[in-house]
Structure 1
């Protein structure tokens, strides 16, 4: 099937086969990544953990995902999505099994920390889907990939407790978790056997270097600035594990982590300089330039969209329970409406971008996002529950549609670096989650929602500096010839 053939969601051949296998791979990564929360009480009881230890495991579950998304983006560009996704699914089944059969808190903590790596799987499919779909279908395809795959977290919440009960006994949770590991391992083989990185005859363009390339001196310094929040978020996670937080690590260990992060950032600067130092002595030819400002804008928007989604999904059941005095079960069911919106909202955001332009769609959705969170900040016990649920679902639509619109633009910046760009933008989503959850620990619910609304307003302003993707992007073949790829 050629790239120009129709977009038939019920087809399982050609590019549609790639899309379905991609979103299901992403779906599995999220089932495995979020298999802990639905079985939390069973794990706590079985291993004899304290509430503080459970909180620590939740932090460890996301700690590694920020650097992992950047690293996986680099590996995807270099080795291709087929191999990278297959290896990730297979390798990450190991810590999944380790956690399922852990006998101590230390074993569980190590396994949970390693499982943060599987949260980087999202980045791989962004590059793969961009290779198979033309620009006028790319937003829709990426939206389906992201939205349907992201639903894996909700699927885990609904199915794993049932599986644990079906197996029965105090080890039921272990077998339920182990099944997710088996699923990941088996699908790694299915994925490798059925996927190719590009359609037949197409070229898979690879970056020359592992560090991100930029094409102007201004972009060089902007890249260094945009790396700082990722290191700062990791430092914040270390602080939360220190005696100032859940007291898992000592002050001395925390200090060593801070020093290590500073050293890694300095090393990162050195690598970026080695790759890009030539731009200070000779200009990059116009045909090969790209504007890193585009990446920076999308980073900020994903911070506000996916970052707020991760934070809100984790606190919304408690918010409804405390605000409206609902039972935990009812509050969880009500709050799940927020996550369910992913099935349609994220593909919807991508489709709107395909039809009406990337920048204009993002402007509208970001404005809606800001208003939605402002409205959520007004919700209190005087509201009817049904109206609060509608407000949450409306807010969710703009959040997840915004995510779809962000990744409708990411693959149109520089093809050979799509993995690296998606990795950085995806990491900013996790940075946002860390920041928002830290804010939540310091303020009330109303202020929490207002702060998210304020960052959305900031994103809206920054969006005016983004340029609508247009014309063609140029990539160089191995023989030195240039291929021009349509982006609009």
Structure 2
């Protein structure tokens, strides 16, 4: 059943998630400048970029469950207000370690993904979940906004005001969200944390987590590391690299609802089979074109389309896994996706420090995509075999 206020809940949740994702992506667009200011190694820079992703991923699990229990309006509002603290402190940070500590807590911005999708999913009927959750996922556009706006703020006002301006912005958005949304009635029975985590015993939860580890993890990894690729490999300026990365994020995000819609119509597994095979091909193209800007750009563009479609298709399946535990499954799968974005920047930093090239990183992406393709096809055959056995 669709409730009154569902469109407003979807719209304002997407706005709040977009604002939060601008904050979650704050370090990537100006990582090079921060590296110069604090005299950081490539690995230290990679750790700074990846740190917000870690906390923002792991805490998606309890945040999704708490959204089920206490309501999305309350949890969303509290999370956004909390973000003002590390942002204000980051503006006064005088050392790398202080900035890294602030980056850890800024990672709370990434948990709004689980809060938003859990909150929005309760407003709409199951047959529309693919498209609706794809639309809710448009909050990922915050990454594009960050890549476009953060370098401009930095160049005009300096590093401190990058963080302080975001603190002001999130307070304004919190106020709009609080005044414009309402809470749905709580379920008659609320589950304990332990009961909610029972979904970990279900195979589909693990498969979806692995699939999202690749699709959303790949999206996040490209979003945060593509500026570094473009500056180091092709000598692009900070602004130009930021704009091109913003383009990647926009394409991957805007096509996400189409992935959900196609999954509604054709089935998630068919869509994901095409996505995983395509990502493997794109990874190979990028591995072979690290000295050729046009070919590398084509590979990135195709990867952005496929990753976006995959993100939408995976989350179409989430409410099907456990209708009474949407928050838990959303949190677990979302955490897996976020962790999938945490490791690649660090791994790429280590690979580049040791070998002087990023080729192996794209080879690992290709291998992961092939493994997901195999799992998708294998679970489809297993499901078909069970149906035959039960007939």
Q: Which residue of 2 aligns with 1:248?
A: none
Please identify which structure carries the higher helix content: 2
Pair 1:302-2:212 in alignment: yes
Q: Please, which moves more after superposition, 24-33 or 367-376? A: 367-376
Distance 2:273 2:187 in 1: 32
Deviations 1:133-162 (A, max 9, x none): 22232211111211x211112212212332
Q: Which residue of 2 aligns with 1:360?
A: 270
CA shift for structure 1 position 351: 1.4
Structure 1 residue runs without a partner (length 5+): 5-12, 224-291, 471-488
Pair 1:182-2:172 in alignment: no
Q: Which residue of 2 aligns with 1:434?
A: 342
The equivalences for 1:237-256 within 5 A come to none
Query: Residues 331 and 40 (structure 1 numbering): CA distance in 2 closer, same or farther, change over 3 Å?
Result: closer
Contact 2:196 2:328 in 1 (8 A): no
Q: Which residue of 2 aligns with 1:51?
A: 40
CA shift for structure 1 position 207: 4.1
The equivalences for 1:367-386 within 5 A come to 367-381=277-291, 383=292, 385-386=293-294
CA shift for structure 1 position 364: 2.2
Deviations 1:435-463 (A, max 9, x none): 33344223643322121121111112212
Pair 1:449-2:362 in alignment: yes
| SS of equivalent residue, structure 1 residue 64 | helix
Structure 2 residue runs without a partner (length 5+): 384-391
Query: Residues 206 and 352 (structure 1 numbering): CA distance in 2 closer, same or farther, change over 3 Å?
Result: farther
Distance 1:64 1:203 in 2: 27
CA shift for structure 1 position 93: 1.4
Distance 2:64 2:314 in 1: 16
Distance 1:435 1:32 in 2: 20
Deviations 1:332-381 (A, max 9, x none): 44444322213422111111112222222222222222222222222243
Q: Which residue of 1 aligns with 2:388?
A: none
Pair 1:173-2:159 in alignment: yes
The equivalences for 1:36-185 within 5 A come to 36-40=27-31, 43=34, 49-52=38-41, 54-146=45-137, 148-166=138-156, 168=157, 172-185=158-171
Q: Which structure has the higher relative contact order (CA within 8 Å, separation 6+)?
A: 2
Distance 1:326 1:179 in 2: 26
Deviations 1:369-407 (A, max 9, x none): 2222222222243x4x33432221111110111011111
Aligned length: 375
Query: Residues 144 and 434 (structure 1 numbering): CA distance in 2 closer, same or farther, change over 3 Å?
Result: same
Q: Which residue of 2 aligns with 1:461?
A: 374
Distance 1:190 1:153 in 2: 21
Contact 2:2 2:123 in 1 (8 A): yes
State the TM-score, normalizing by the size of structure 1: 0.70
Query: Residues 336 and 366 (structure 1 numbering): CA distance in 2 closer, same or farther, change over 3 Å?
Result: same
Q: Which residue of 1 aligns with 2:387?
A: none
Deviations 1:189-225 (A, max 9, x none): 3222322343xxx76365421025577xxx8xx64xx
CA shift for structure 1 position 56: 4.4
Kindly report the root-mean-square deviation, in angstroms, between the aligned alpha carbons of the 2 structures.
2.8
State the TM-score, normalizing by the size of structure 2: 0.85
2:313 to 405, 421, 425: 405
Query: Residues 420 and 451 (structure 1 numbering): CA distance in 2 closer, same or farther, change over 3 Å?
Result: same
Distance 1:176 1:439 in 2: 27
Query: Residues 56 and 455 (structure 1 numbering): CA distance in 2 closer, same or farther, change over 3 Å?
Result: closer
Query: Residues 72 and 182 (structure 1 numbering): CA distance in 2 closer, same or farther, change over 3 Å?
Result: same
Q: Which residue of 1 aligns with 2:386?
A: none
| SS of equivalent residue, structure 1 residue 133 | coil
Distance 1:316 1:195 in 2: 36
CA shift for structure 1 position 299: 0.3
Query: Residues 214 and 85 (structure 1 numbering): CA distance in 2 closer, same or farther, change over 3 Å?
Result: closer
Deviations 1:37-61 (A, max 9, x none): 334456566xx52214555433433
Query: Residues 159 and 436 (structure 1 numbering): CA distance in 2 closer, same or farther, change over 3 Å?
Result: closer
Q: Which residue of 2 aligns with 1:32?
A: 23
Query: Residues 112 and 294 (structure 1 numbering): CA distance in 2 closer, same or farther, change over 3 Å?
Result: same
Q: Which residue of 1 aligns with 2:194?
A: 211
